[in-house]
Amino acid sequence: MTAVDLGMPGLPHAPRGVGHLRGAESFPDAARGALRNGQLRANLGHATSTIRGKRANVVGELPDWEQLRAAGKALKTATMARLDEHLEELERQVTARGGVVHWARDANEANEIVTRLVQATGTSEVVKVKSMATQEIGLNEALEAAGLDVFETDLAELIVQLGEDSPSHILVPAIHKNRAEIREIFARTIPGVDPGLTDDPRQLAMAARAHLRERFLRARVAVSGANFGVAETGTLTVVESEGNGRMCLTLPETLITVMGIEKVVPTWRDLEVFLQLLPRSSTGERMNPYTSAWAGVTPGDGPQEFHLVLLDNGRTAVLADEVGREALHCIRCSACLNVCPVYERAGGHSYGSVYPGPIGAVLSPMLTGVEDNASLPYASSLCGACYDVCPVAIDIPSILVHLRGEHVEAVARDRDRPTAEAVAFRGLAKAMSHPRLWHLAQRAARLGRLVSRGRPTLPNALPPPISGWTRSRDLPTPPTKTFVQQWTEEHRS
Protein backbone atom coordinates (compact mmCIF):
# COMPACT_ATOMS: atom_id res chain seq x y z
CA MET A 1 0.00 0.00 0.00
CA THR A 2 1.43 3.36 -0.98
CA ALA A 3 1.35 6.11 1.57
CA VAL A 4 -1.34 8.03 -0.28
CA ASP A 5 -3.71 5.11 -0.59
CA LEU A 6 -6.98 5.84 1.13
CA GLY A 7 -9.52 3.61 2.70
CA MET A 8 -9.03 -0.05 3.43
CA PRO A 9 -5.75 -1.46 2.16
CA GLY A 10 -6.19 -3.57 -0.91
CA LEU A 11 -9.48 -2.08 -2.08
CA PRO A 12 -8.75 -0.88 -5.58
CA HIS A 13 -9.66 2.54 -6.91
CA ALA A 14 -10.87 3.30 -10.43
CA PRO A 15 -7.86 2.58 -12.64
CA ARG A 16 -5.91 5.27 -14.47
CA GLY A 17 -5.81 5.52 -18.24
CA VAL A 18 -9.46 4.64 -18.81
CA GLY A 19 -12.71 6.52 -18.32
CA HIS A 20 -13.45 10.08 -17.34
CA LEU A 21 -12.86 10.64 -13.66
CA ARG A 22 -9.62 12.61 -13.84
CA GLY A 23 -8.94 16.00 -15.37
CA ALA A 24 -5.77 17.20 -17.03
CA GLU A 25 -5.63 20.34 -14.88
CA SER A 26 -6.25 21.12 -11.23
CA PHE A 27 -9.58 22.73 -10.42
CA PRO A 28 -8.20 26.24 -9.79
CA ASP A 29 -6.31 26.19 -13.10
CA ALA A 30 -9.25 24.88 -15.12
CA ALA A 31 -11.64 27.29 -13.42
CA ARG A 32 -9.40 30.26 -14.17
CA GLY A 33 -9.95 29.72 -17.88
CA ALA A 34 -13.66 28.93 -17.59
CA LEU A 35 -14.36 32.02 -15.49
CA ARG A 36 -13.23 34.20 -18.39
CA ASN A 37 -15.79 32.62 -20.73
CA GLY A 38 -18.64 35.10 -20.59
CA GLN A 39 -20.92 32.99 -22.80
CA LEU A 40 -20.47 29.99 -20.51
CA ARG A 41 -21.19 32.10 -17.43
CA ALA A 42 -24.35 33.48 -19.04
CA ASN A 43 -25.57 30.05 -20.21
CA LEU A 44 -24.95 28.42 -16.84
CA GLY A 45 -26.33 31.31 -14.82
CA HIS A 46 -29.53 31.26 -16.85
CA ALA A 47 -29.97 27.48 -16.87
CA THR A 48 -29.19 26.86 -13.20
CA SER A 49 -31.34 29.70 -11.89
CA THR A 50 -34.30 28.51 -13.99
CA ILE A 51 -34.06 24.94 -12.75
CA ARG A 52 -33.43 26.08 -9.15
CA GLY A 53 -36.70 27.97 -9.26
CA LYS A 54 -38.62 25.01 -10.70
CA ARG A 55 -37.24 22.66 -8.09
CA ALA A 56 -38.01 25.02 -5.23
CA ASN A 57 -41.63 25.29 -6.40
CA VAL A 58 -42.37 21.59 -6.66
CA VAL A 59 -40.49 20.72 -3.49
CA GLY A 60 -42.30 23.50 -1.64
CA GLU A 61 -45.71 22.03 -2.47
CA LEU A 62 -44.99 18.75 -0.66
CA PRO A 63 -45.69 19.07 3.07
CA ASP A 64 -43.84 15.83 3.80
CA TRP A 65 -40.67 16.61 1.84
CA GLU A 66 -38.44 16.43 4.90
CA GLN A 67 -39.91 13.05 5.86
CA LEU A 68 -39.39 11.79 2.31
CA ARG A 69 -35.76 12.94 2.45
CA ALA A 70 -35.26 11.22 5.76
CA ALA A 71 -36.85 8.05 4.37
CA GLY A 72 -34.58 8.18 1.31
CA LYS A 73 -31.54 8.57 3.49
CA ALA A 74 -32.57 5.77 5.83
CA LEU A 75 -33.27 3.39 2.93
CA LYS A 76 -29.89 4.10 1.37
CA THR A 77 -28.04 3.72 4.68
CA ALA A 78 -29.72 0.38 5.38
CA THR A 79 -29.06 -0.85 1.84
CA MET A 80 -25.35 0.04 1.96
CA ALA A 81 -24.95 -1.81 5.25
CA ARG A 82 -25.84 -5.09 3.47
CA LEU A 83 -24.90 -4.22 -0.07
CA ASP A 84 -23.37 -7.61 -0.83
CA GLU A 85 -26.54 -9.50 0.10
CA HIS A 86 -28.78 -7.22 -1.95
CA LEU A 87 -26.52 -7.54 -4.97
CA GLU A 88 -26.54 -11.31 -4.77
CA GLU A 89 -30.31 -11.29 -4.50
CA LEU A 90 -30.48 -9.02 -7.54
CA GLU A 91 -28.27 -11.45 -9.44
CA ARG A 92 -30.47 -14.41 -8.47
CA GLN A 93 -33.66 -12.64 -9.52
CA VAL A 94 -32.30 -11.30 -12.81
CA THR A 95 -30.94 -14.74 -13.66
CA ALA A 96 -34.21 -16.43 -12.72
CA ARG A 97 -36.01 -14.14 -15.18
CA GLY A 98 -33.72 -14.97 -18.07
CA GLY A 99 -31.10 -12.24 -17.78
CA VAL A 100 -27.34 -12.71 -17.49
CA VAL A 101 -25.39 -10.93 -14.77
CA HIS A 102 -21.75 -9.93 -15.17
CA TRP A 103 -19.54 -8.56 -12.40
CA ALA A 104 -17.03 -5.89 -13.45
CA ARG A 105 -14.32 -4.98 -10.98
CA ASP A 106 -13.40 -1.82 -12.86
CA ALA A 107 -13.79 0.25 -16.01
CA ASN A 108 -11.52 -1.99 -18.07
CA GLU A 109 -13.43 -5.15 -17.20
CA ALA A 110 -16.79 -3.50 -17.83
CA ASN A 111 -15.68 -2.15 -21.21
CA GLU A 112 -14.35 -5.56 -22.21
CA ILE A 113 -17.55 -7.32 -21.19
CA VAL A 114 -19.81 -4.91 -23.07
CA THR A 115 -17.60 -4.90 -26.17
CA ARG A 116 -17.58 -8.69 -26.22
CA LEU A 117 -21.35 -8.88 -25.79
CA VAL A 118 -21.97 -6.41 -28.61
CA GLN A 119 -19.54 -8.18 -30.93
CA ALA A 120 -21.24 -11.51 -30.22
CA THR A 121 -24.47 -10.15 -31.72
CA GLY A 122 -22.71 -9.48 -35.00
CA THR A 123 -23.92 -5.89 -35.25
CA SER A 124 -21.71 -2.85 -35.71
CA GLU A 125 -24.09 -0.24 -34.26
CA VAL A 126 -25.16 0.51 -30.71
CA VAL A 127 -27.80 2.95 -29.50
CA LYS A 128 -27.37 4.36 -26.02
CA VAL A 129 -29.59 5.67 -23.29
CA LYS A 130 -27.95 8.45 -21.29
CA SER A 131 -26.00 6.86 -18.48
CA MET A 132 -23.45 8.23 -16.03
CA ALA A 133 -21.85 4.84 -15.39
CA THR A 134 -20.96 4.35 -19.06
CA GLN A 135 -19.62 7.91 -19.24
CA GLU A 136 -17.55 7.22 -16.15
CA ILE A 137 -15.86 4.18 -17.70
CA GLY A 138 -15.44 5.67 -21.18
CA LEU A 139 -17.53 2.96 -22.81
CA ASN A 140 -18.13 4.90 -26.03
CA GLU A 141 -14.40 5.20 -26.67
CA ALA A 142 -13.91 1.50 -25.93
CA LEU A 143 -16.68 0.48 -28.33
CA GLU A 144 -15.41 2.84 -31.01
CA ALA A 145 -11.90 1.46 -30.61
CA ALA A 146 -13.39 -1.95 -31.37
CA GLY A 147 -14.79 -0.57 -34.62
CA LEU A 148 -18.37 -0.16 -33.43
CA ASP A 149 -20.56 2.90 -34.05
CA VAL A 150 -22.17 4.36 -30.95
CA PHE A 151 -25.18 6.67 -31.03
CA GLU A 152 -26.23 8.68 -28.00
CA THR A 153 -30.00 9.16 -28.09
CA ASP A 154 -30.59 11.62 -25.26
CA LEU A 155 -30.92 15.07 -26.82
CA ALA A 156 -28.32 16.78 -24.67
CA GLU A 157 -25.98 13.81 -24.88
CA LEU A 158 -26.38 13.84 -28.66
CA ILE A 159 -25.43 17.53 -28.73
CA VAL A 160 -22.28 16.73 -26.76
CA GLN A 161 -21.45 13.76 -28.99
CA LEU A 162 -22.01 15.63 -32.27
CA GLY A 163 -20.04 18.62 -30.98
CA GLU A 164 -17.15 16.32 -29.97
CA ASP A 165 -17.48 17.91 -26.57
CA SER A 166 -17.68 16.40 -23.11
CA PRO A 167 -20.63 16.50 -20.69
CA SER A 168 -20.60 19.26 -18.07
CA HIS A 169 -23.66 18.31 -15.99
CA ILE A 170 -24.99 14.94 -14.84
CA LEU A 171 -28.54 15.56 -16.02
CA VAL A 172 -28.15 18.13 -18.79
CA PRO A 173 -24.78 17.24 -20.31
CA ALA A 174 -24.95 20.19 -22.73
CA ILE A 175 -26.02 22.77 -20.14
CA HIS A 176 -23.04 24.88 -21.14
CA LYS A 177 -24.45 25.37 -24.64
CA ASN A 178 -27.25 27.74 -25.63
CA ARG A 179 -29.77 27.38 -28.46
CA ALA A 180 -27.69 29.27 -30.99
CA GLU A 181 -24.67 27.11 -30.30
CA ILE A 182 -26.79 23.93 -30.58
CA ARG A 183 -28.20 25.10 -33.93
CA GLU A 184 -24.66 25.59 -35.19
CA ILE A 185 -23.62 22.06 -34.10
CA PHE A 186 -26.68 20.45 -35.72
CA ALA A 187 -26.30 22.42 -38.95
CA ARG A 188 -22.67 21.35 -39.18
CA THR A 189 -22.94 17.70 -38.17
CA ILE A 190 -26.36 16.18 -38.94
CA PRO A 191 -26.37 14.77 -42.47
CA GLY A 192 -29.18 16.15 -44.62
CA VAL A 193 -30.44 18.59 -42.00
CA ASP A 194 -32.76 21.37 -43.18
CA PRO A 195 -30.45 24.22 -44.24
CA GLY A 196 -33.04 26.70 -42.90
CA LEU A 197 -32.80 25.27 -39.34
CA THR A 198 -33.38 27.99 -36.75
CA ASP A 199 -32.62 28.03 -33.03
CA ASP A 200 -36.27 27.46 -32.13
CA PRO A 201 -36.23 24.66 -29.49
CA ARG A 202 -38.99 22.74 -31.27
CA GLN A 203 -37.15 22.84 -34.60
CA LEU A 204 -33.95 21.69 -32.91
CA ALA A 205 -35.75 18.83 -31.19
CA MET A 206 -37.42 17.77 -34.45
CA ALA A 207 -34.07 17.76 -36.26
CA ALA A 208 -32.62 15.49 -33.56
CA ARG A 209 -35.72 13.31 -33.66
CA ALA A 210 -35.47 12.78 -37.41
CA HIS A 211 -31.79 11.98 -37.06
CA LEU A 212 -32.35 9.47 -34.25
CA ARG A 213 -35.58 7.78 -35.37
CA GLU A 214 -33.83 5.93 -38.14
CA ARG A 215 -31.25 4.59 -35.72
CA PHE A 216 -33.80 3.38 -33.20
CA LEU A 217 -35.60 1.44 -35.87
CA ARG A 218 -32.54 -0.36 -37.18
CA ALA A 219 -30.59 -0.81 -33.92
CA ARG A 220 -30.14 -4.38 -32.75
CA VAL A 221 -28.27 -3.60 -29.55
CA ALA A 222 -28.90 -0.95 -26.91
CA VAL A 223 -26.77 0.00 -23.93
CA SER A 224 -28.31 1.69 -20.92
CA GLY A 225 -27.59 2.59 -17.35
CA ALA A 226 -30.05 2.17 -14.50
CA ASN A 227 -31.44 4.52 -11.90
CA PHE A 228 -32.46 1.68 -9.62
CA GLY A 229 -32.11 -2.10 -9.56
CA VAL A 230 -34.71 -3.80 -7.39
CA ALA A 231 -33.20 -6.83 -5.68
CA GLU A 232 -36.39 -8.68 -4.70
CA THR A 233 -37.77 -8.78 -8.25
CA GLY A 234 -34.67 -8.32 -10.40
CA THR A 235 -36.28 -5.22 -11.92
CA LEU A 236 -34.17 -2.50 -13.55
CA THR A 237 -35.53 1.00 -13.98
CA VAL A 238 -34.65 3.98 -16.12
CA VAL A 239 -36.16 7.38 -15.40
CA GLU A 240 -36.18 9.85 -18.31
CA SER A 241 -37.97 12.71 -20.00
CA GLU A 242 -37.67 12.27 -23.73
CA GLY A 243 -38.87 8.75 -24.56
CA ASN A 244 -35.59 7.92 -26.27
CA GLY A 245 -34.87 5.60 -23.39
CA ARG A 246 -38.15 3.76 -23.85
CA MET A 247 -37.30 3.24 -27.54
CA CYS A 248 -33.84 1.88 -26.73
CA LEU A 249 -35.13 -0.35 -23.96
CA THR A 250 -37.90 -1.93 -26.03
CA LEU A 251 -36.97 -2.02 -29.75
CA PRO A 252 -33.55 -3.78 -29.99
CA GLU A 253 -33.05 -7.51 -29.68
CA THR A 254 -30.29 -7.19 -27.11
CA LEU A 255 -30.17 -4.90 -24.12
CA ILE A 256 -27.03 -4.40 -22.05
CA THR A 257 -27.37 -2.41 -18.81
CA VAL A 258 -24.34 -1.12 -16.93
CA MET A 259 -25.20 -0.31 -13.34
CA GLY A 260 -23.03 0.91 -10.48
CA ILE A 261 -23.36 -1.49 -7.56
CA GLU A 262 -24.71 1.28 -5.30
CA LYS A 263 -27.88 1.59 -7.40
CA VAL A 264 -29.48 -1.51 -5.92
CA VAL A 265 -32.55 -1.07 -3.72
CA PRO A 266 -33.91 -4.02 -1.73
CA THR A 267 -37.61 -3.86 -2.54
CA TRP A 268 -40.03 -2.62 -5.15
CA ARG A 269 -41.69 -0.51 -2.47
CA ASP A 270 -38.52 1.53 -1.98
CA LEU A 271 -39.22 3.09 -5.35
CA GLU A 272 -42.23 4.79 -3.81
CA VAL A 273 -39.83 7.11 -2.01
CA PHE A 274 -37.19 7.53 -4.69
CA LEU A 275 -39.58 8.11 -7.58
CA GLN A 276 -41.00 11.03 -5.63
CA LEU A 277 -37.64 12.46 -4.63
CA LEU A 278 -35.90 12.15 -7.99
CA PRO A 279 -38.03 14.05 -10.54
CA ARG A 280 -38.80 16.94 -8.20
CA SER A 281 -35.11 17.34 -7.41
CA SER A 282 -33.74 16.88 -10.89
CA THR A 283 -36.00 18.44 -13.51
CA GLY A 284 -38.32 20.21 -11.09
CA GLU A 285 -41.26 18.10 -12.25
CA ARG A 286 -43.83 16.33 -10.09
CA MET A 287 -43.33 13.25 -12.18
CA ASN A 288 -40.99 12.47 -15.01
CA PRO A 289 -42.60 11.62 -18.37
CA TYR A 290 -41.14 8.10 -18.75
CA THR A 291 -40.27 5.51 -16.13
CA SER A 292 -39.32 2.19 -17.70
CA ALA A 293 -39.04 -0.96 -15.63
CA TRP A 294 -38.13 -4.45 -16.82
CA ALA A 295 -37.09 -7.73 -15.32
CA GLY A 296 -35.11 -10.26 -17.34
CA VAL A 297 -36.67 -11.12 -20.69
CA THR A 298 -40.29 -11.66 -21.72
CA PRO A 299 -40.74 -13.95 -24.73
CA GLY A 300 -42.15 -12.06 -27.69
CA ASP A 301 -42.01 -8.69 -25.93
CA GLY A 302 -38.98 -6.40 -25.96
CA PRO A 303 -35.33 -7.48 -26.04
CA GLN A 304 -34.87 -11.23 -26.05
CA GLU A 305 -31.40 -11.03 -24.60
CA PHE A 306 -30.64 -9.06 -21.45
CA HIS A 307 -27.29 -8.53 -19.77
CA LEU A 308 -26.69 -6.67 -16.52
CA VAL A 309 -23.13 -5.52 -15.86
CA LEU A 310 -22.57 -4.66 -12.20
CA LEU A 311 -19.78 -2.11 -11.91
CA ASP A 312 -17.51 -1.51 -8.94
CA ASN A 313 -14.75 0.81 -10.27
CA GLY A 314 -13.74 2.11 -6.84
CA ARG A 315 -17.15 1.95 -5.16
CA THR A 316 -16.13 -0.69 -2.64
CA ALA A 317 -13.25 1.58 -1.61
CA VAL A 318 -15.76 4.41 -1.08
CA LEU A 319 -17.92 2.07 0.98
CA ALA A 320 -14.96 1.40 3.25
CA ASP A 321 -14.70 5.10 4.16
CA GLU A 322 -16.90 5.65 7.19
CA VAL A 323 -17.51 9.33 6.49
CA GLY A 324 -17.36 9.27 2.71
CA ARG A 325 -19.59 6.26 2.06
CA GLU A 326 -22.64 8.51 2.21
CA ALA A 327 -21.67 9.74 -1.26
CA LEU A 328 -22.83 6.35 -2.57
CA HIS A 329 -26.40 7.31 -1.61
CA CYS A 330 -26.50 9.76 -4.52
CA ILE A 331 -29.41 9.25 -6.91
CA ARG A 332 -27.82 11.59 -9.51
CA CYS A 333 -30.58 14.17 -9.44
CA SER A 334 -28.14 17.06 -9.99
CA ALA A 335 -29.89 19.42 -7.55
CA CYS A 336 -26.59 20.02 -5.77
CA LEU A 337 -24.96 21.15 -9.02
CA ASN A 338 -27.79 23.54 -9.77
CA VAL A 339 -27.54 25.33 -6.41
CA CYS A 340 -23.76 25.33 -6.17
CA PRO A 341 -22.28 28.83 -6.51
CA VAL A 342 -18.92 27.34 -7.48
CA TYR A 343 -20.41 25.08 -10.17
CA GLU A 344 -22.53 27.92 -11.51
CA ARG A 345 -19.44 30.03 -12.15
CA ALA A 346 -16.65 27.58 -12.93
CA GLY A 347 -18.80 25.15 -14.97
CA GLY A 348 -18.74 21.37 -15.07
CA HIS A 349 -15.60 20.93 -17.17
CA SER A 350 -13.45 22.56 -14.49
CA TYR A 351 -13.94 19.48 -12.32
CA GLY A 352 -12.26 17.27 -14.94
CA SER A 353 -14.63 14.37 -14.18
CA VAL A 354 -18.00 13.22 -15.50
CA TYR A 355 -19.20 13.93 -11.97
CA PRO A 356 -18.92 17.69 -11.49
CA GLY A 357 -20.34 19.98 -8.83
CA PRO A 358 -20.53 19.22 -5.11
CA ILE A 359 -21.20 15.49 -5.46
CA GLY A 360 -18.42 15.20 -8.02
CA ALA A 361 -16.01 17.03 -5.72
CA VAL A 362 -16.45 14.22 -3.19
CA LEU A 363 -17.22 11.22 -5.39
CA SER A 364 -14.46 11.61 -8.00
CA PRO A 365 -11.57 11.80 -5.49
CA MET A 366 -12.96 8.85 -3.56
CA LEU A 367 -13.35 6.70 -6.68
CA THR A 368 -9.87 7.50 -7.98
CA GLY A 369 -8.04 7.89 -4.69
CA VAL A 370 -7.64 11.43 -3.45
CA GLU A 371 -4.12 11.84 -4.85
CA ASP A 372 -5.51 11.78 -8.41
CA ASN A 373 -8.10 14.48 -7.74
CA ALA A 374 -6.42 16.33 -4.92
CA SER A 375 -7.76 19.78 -5.79
CA LEU A 376 -11.44 18.77 -5.86
CA PRO A 377 -12.19 18.62 -2.12
CA TYR A 378 -11.05 22.25 -1.94
CA ALA A 379 -13.30 23.36 -4.80
CA SER A 380 -16.03 24.51 -2.42
CA SER A 381 -16.66 27.44 -0.13
CA LEU A 382 -18.54 25.02 2.19
CA CYS A 383 -21.66 27.18 1.90
CA GLY A 384 -23.86 24.13 2.50
CA ALA A 385 -26.45 24.81 -0.22
CA CYS A 386 -25.85 21.30 -1.64
CA TYR A 387 -26.67 19.56 1.65
CA ASP A 388 -29.89 21.57 1.95
CA VAL A 389 -31.25 20.48 -1.43
CA CYS A 390 -29.97 16.92 -1.58
CA PRO A 391 -33.03 14.61 -1.70
CA VAL A 392 -31.20 11.93 0.27
CA ALA A 393 -29.57 14.44 2.65
CA ILE A 394 -25.94 13.69 1.88
CA ASP A 395 -23.82 15.92 4.11
CA ILE A 396 -21.49 16.91 1.26
CA PRO A 397 -19.71 19.75 3.15
CA SER A 398 -18.66 17.36 5.91
CA ILE A 399 -17.34 14.86 3.36
CA LEU A 400 -15.40 17.65 1.63
CA VAL A 401 -13.80 18.62 4.93
CA HIS A 402 -13.08 14.96 5.69
CA LEU A 403 -11.37 14.47 2.32
CA ARG A 404 -9.25 17.57 2.88
CA GLY A 405 -8.07 15.91 6.09
CA GLU A 406 -7.40 12.64 4.26
CA HIS A 407 -5.43 14.52 1.62
CA VAL A 408 -3.33 16.53 4.10
CA GLU A 409 -2.56 13.39 6.09
CA ALA A 410 -1.70 11.39 2.96
CA VAL A 411 0.70 14.12 1.81
CA ALA A 412 2.30 14.20 5.25
CA ARG A 413 2.83 10.42 5.17
CA ASP A 414 4.21 10.55 1.65
CA ARG A 415 6.83 13.24 2.07
CA ASP A 416 10.05 13.39 4.01
CA ARG A 417 9.73 17.10 4.55
CA PRO A 418 6.43 18.83 5.27
CA THR A 419 4.93 21.31 2.80
CA ALA A 420 5.25 25.03 3.55
CA GLU A 421 1.51 25.05 4.22
CA ALA A 422 1.80 22.23 6.76
CA VAL A 423 4.63 24.03 8.53
CA ALA A 424 2.55 27.22 8.72
CA PHE A 425 -0.58 25.46 9.97
CA ARG A 426 1.33 23.46 12.55
CA GLY A 427 3.03 26.60 13.82
CA LEU A 428 -0.25 28.43 13.98
CA ALA A 429 -1.90 25.50 15.77
CA LYS A 430 0.85 25.54 18.34
CA ALA A 431 0.37 29.26 18.91
CA MET A 432 -3.41 28.92 19.12
CA SER A 433 -3.03 26.23 21.76
CA HIS A 434 -0.93 28.32 24.15
CA PRO A 435 -2.23 31.76 25.15
CA ARG A 436 1.24 33.23 25.64
CA LEU A 437 2.44 32.09 22.23
CA TRP A 438 -0.81 33.26 20.70
CA HIS A 439 -0.35 36.77 22.02
CA LEU A 440 3.16 36.80 20.58
CA ALA A 441 1.82 35.63 17.22
CA GLN A 442 -0.82 38.35 17.26
CA ARG A 443 1.90 40.88 17.97
CA ALA A 444 3.80 39.54 14.96
CA ALA A 445 0.69 40.00 12.79
CA ARG A 446 0.78 43.65 13.75
CA LEU A 447 4.08 43.93 11.91
CA GLY A 448 1.75 44.35 8.94
CA ARG A 449 1.44 47.92 10.17
CA LEU A 450 5.02 48.49 9.07
CA VAL A 451 4.16 47.34 5.54
CA SER A 452 1.11 49.57 5.27
CA ARG A 453 3.00 52.64 6.51
CA GLY A 454 0.06 54.38 8.09
CA ARG A 455 -2.47 53.54 5.37
CA PRO A 456 -5.76 51.83 6.33
CA THR A 457 -5.06 48.87 4.05
CA LEU A 458 -2.04 46.74 3.23
CA PRO A 459 -0.42 47.09 -0.22
CA ASN A 460 -1.96 45.12 -3.11
CA ALA A 461 1.28 43.42 -4.07
CA LEU A 462 2.17 40.96 -1.33
CA PRO A 463 3.91 37.58 -1.61
CA PRO A 464 1.89 34.35 -1.95
CA PRO A 465 -0.26 33.03 -0.42
CA ILE A 466 -1.50 36.47 0.75
CA SER A 467 -1.42 37.62 -2.88
CA GLY A 468 -4.34 35.26 -3.51
CA TRP A 469 -6.33 37.59 -1.29
CA THR A 470 -4.88 40.96 -2.19
CA ARG A 471 -5.13 40.53 -5.96
CA SER A 472 -8.84 41.28 -5.76
CA ARG A 473 -9.49 42.44 -2.19
CA ASP A 474 -8.03 45.05 0.14
CA LEU A 475 -6.73 43.72 3.43
CA PRO A 476 -7.14 46.04 6.41
CA THR A 477 -4.07 47.07 8.35
CA PRO A 478 -4.08 45.24 11.69
CA PRO A 479 -4.96 47.52 14.61
CA THR A 480 -2.44 48.42 17.32
CA LYS A 481 -4.11 46.38 20.04
CA THR A 482 -6.12 43.20 20.07
CA PHE A 483 -9.49 43.23 21.78
CA VAL A 484 -8.48 40.79 24.50
CA GLN A 485 -5.33 42.77 25.23
CA GLN A 486 -7.14 46.08 25.53
CA TRP A 487 -10.00 44.62 27.55
CA THR A 488 -7.60 42.91 29.94
CA GLU A 489 -5.66 46.13 30.44
CA GLU A 490 -8.84 48.12 31.10
CA HIS A 491 -10.37 45.55 33.44
CA ARG A 492 -7.32 44.74 35.51
CA SER A 493 -8.49 44.86 39.09
Interface positions with ligand SF4 (CB under 6 A): 281, 330-336, 359, 389-392, 394
- Shortest Å, Cβ 407 to another protein: 6
Q: What does the angle CA 383 – CA 388 – CA 391 come to, to the nearest 5 degrees?
A: 140
Q: Which is nearer to ligand SF4, 138 or 397 (CB)?
A: 397
391 binds, among another protein, ligand SF4, none (CB under 5 to 8 A by kind): ligand SF4
Instruction: Based on the shown chain and the rule CB under 8 A, indicate whether residue 378 belongs to the binding site for another protein.
Output: yes
- C-alpha to C-alpha distance for 432 and 429, rounded to whole angstroms: 5
Sheet bearing 125-128, strands edge to edge? 100-104, 305-311, 254-260, 221-224, 125-128, 149-152
Q: Which of 271, 348, 387, 399 binds another protein (CB under 8 A)?
A: 387
Q: Which of 39, 57, 298, 488 binds another protein (CB under 8 A)?
A: 488
- Shortest Å, Cβ 198 to another protein: 32
Instruction: Based on the shown chain and the rule CB under 8 A, indicate whether residue 418 belongs to the binding site for another protein.
Output: no
- Shortest Å, Cβ 177 to ligand SF4: 21
| Count of residues near another protein by CB under 8 A | 64
Q: Which is nearer to ligand SF4, 160 or 335 (CB)?
A: 335
- Shortest Å, Cβ 61 to ligand SF4: 19
The answer to whether 245 and 232 are in contact (CB under 8 A) is no
Q: Which is nearer to another protein, 43 or 135 (CB)?
A: 43
Instruction: Based on the shown chain and the rule CB under 8 A, indicate whether residue 103 belongs to the binding site for another protein.
Output: no
Q: Which of 201, 405, 418, 459 binds another protein (CB under 8 A)?
A: 405
Q: Which is nearer to another protein, 51 or 185 (CB)?
A: 51
- Shortest Å, Cβ 277 to another protein: 20
Instruction: Based on the shown chain and the rule CB under 8 A, indicate whether residue 57 belongs to the binding site for another protein.
Output: no
Contacts 24+ apart (CB under 8 A), 81-84: 83/261, 83/262, 83/264, 83/319
Q: Which is nearer to another protein, 78 or 432 (CB)?
A: 432
333 binds, among another protein, ligand SF4, none (CB under 5 to 8 A by kind): ligand SF4
Q: Which amino acid is at 446?
A: R
The DSSP element (H or E) to which 171 belongs, if any, is none
Helices (H), 97-148: 107-121, 132-137, 139-145
Residue 341: CB atoms within 10 Å? 12
Q: Is 258 exposed, middle or buried (0-12, 13-18, 19+ CB in 10 A)?
A: buried
The answer to whether 150 and 123 are in contact (CB under 8 A) is no
Instruction: Based on the shown chain and the rule CB under 8 A, indicate whether residue 151 belongs to the binding site for another protein.
Output: no
Which residues, 322 to 351, sit near another protein by CB under 8 A? Answer: 341-342, 345-346
Backbone phi, psi, residue 149, to 5°: -95, 130
Cα end-to-end span (Å), the chain: 60
The contacts of residue 444 (CB under 8 Å, 6+ apart) are: none
330 binds, among another protein, ligand SF4, none (CB under 5 to 8 A by kind): ligand SF4
- Shortest Å, Cβ 92 to ligand SF4: 28
- Shortest Å, Cβ 487 to another protein: 5
- C-alpha to C-alpha distance for 58 and 333, rounded to whole angstroms: 14
Instruction: Based on the shown chain and the rule CB under 8 A, indicate whether residue 60 belongs to the binding site for another protein.
Output: no
The contacts of residue 241 (CB under 8 Å, 6+ apart) are: 283, 285, 288, 289, 290
- Shortest Å, Cβ 276 to ligand SF4: 13
- Shortest Å, Cβ 447 to another protein: 12
Here's the x/- map for another protein, 17-46, by CB under 8 A: it reads as: ----------xx--xx--x-----x-----
Q: Which of 53, 243, 459, 468 binds another protein (CB under 8 A)?
A: 468
The contacts of residue 265 (CB under 8 Å, 6+ apart) are: 75, 79, 86, 228, 229, 230, 231, 271, 274
- Shortest Å, Cβ 172 to ligand SF4: 12
- Shortest Å, Cβ 75 to ligand SF4: 13
Looking only at the bridges linking them, the beta strands covering 228-230 and 125-128 are unpaired
97 binds, among ligand SF4, another protein, none (CB under 5 to 8 A by kind): none
The answer to whether 327 and 363 are in contact (CB under 8 A) is yes
378 binds, among another protein, ligand SF4, none (CB under 5 to 8 A by kind): another protein
The distance from CA 115 to its chain's CA centroid, rounded to whole angstroms, is 25
Instruction: Based on the shown chain and the rule CB under 8 A, indicate whether residue 407 belongs to the binding site for another protein.
Output: yes
Helices (H), 201-263: 201-218, 244-250
SS3 419: coil
Q: Applying CB under 8 A, which residues contact another protein?
A: 27-28, 31-32, 35, 41, 341-342, 345-346, 378-385, 387-388, 401, 404-409, 421-422, 425-426, 428-435, 438, 442, 445, 457, 460, 465-466, 468-469, 471-476, 478-479, 481-484, 486-488, 491
